[in-house]
């Protein structure tokens, strides 16, 4: 599981010209679910629920917002930040061979969407305003990056490698 996290002043997502979600100051998060995550979480097994819980806790606890002294010392709750979560299977692109990425490591859509919805639910338990895109849709995402400040959270690094 991977979260590509961007600190933003504002962000929005639309599909076919219809706006689905919009946030002010907070985090735009692209959520990638791997084939291993999706297959093993198809029944939302205990392990993958715990991994998702830990990833959400890390996400909302990131101290990447500036305090009164200009230091990145504040988390989402401290600033009343908002979240926009976008499903992004391309976070598992494999570009090692040739020029055309392979997406074999991305999660199967049905299982991946189940885990994505679980992540949304957990985020909504932590943060007041959580917006989302449309899973699997051709989305248009607009943002005003704040910094820029971009971080990759990878469950293999945060929760330990799966063997």
State the catalytic residues.
88-90
Dihedral sign (CA 147, 77, 127, 105): positive
Q: Are 60 and 117 in contact (CB under 8 A)?
A: no
Nearest to 1 by CA among 28, 30, 31, 29: 31
Specify the residue for token string 């959270």. Answer: 153
Specify the residue for token string 């040739």. Answer: 98
| Count of Cβ atoms closer than 10 Å to residue 80 Cβ | 12
How far is Cα of residue 98 from the mean position of the Cα atoms in its chain? 28
Nearest to 119 by CA among 23, 55, 45, 58: 55
């Amino acid at each position: 599981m991977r979260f590509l996290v961007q600190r933003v002043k504002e962000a929005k997502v639309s599909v076919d010209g219809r706006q689905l979600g919009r946030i002010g100051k907070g985090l735009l998060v692209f959520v990638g679910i791997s084939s291993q995550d999706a297959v093993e979480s198809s029944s939302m097994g205990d392990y993958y629920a715990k991994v998702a819980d830990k990833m959400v806790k890390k996400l909302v606890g990131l101290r990447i917002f500036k305090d009164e002294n200009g230091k990145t010392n504040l988390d989402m709750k401290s600033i009343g930040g908002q979240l926009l979560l976008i499903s992004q299977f391309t976070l598992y692109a494999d570009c090692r061979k040739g020029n055309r990425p392979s997406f074999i490591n991305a999660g199967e859509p049905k299982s991946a969407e189940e885990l994505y919805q679980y992540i949304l639910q957990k985020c909504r338990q932590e943060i007041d305003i959580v917006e989302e895109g449309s899973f699997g849709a051709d989305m248009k995402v607009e943002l005003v990056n704040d910094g820029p400040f971009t971080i990759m959270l990878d469950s293999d690094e945060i929760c330990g490698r799966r063997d």
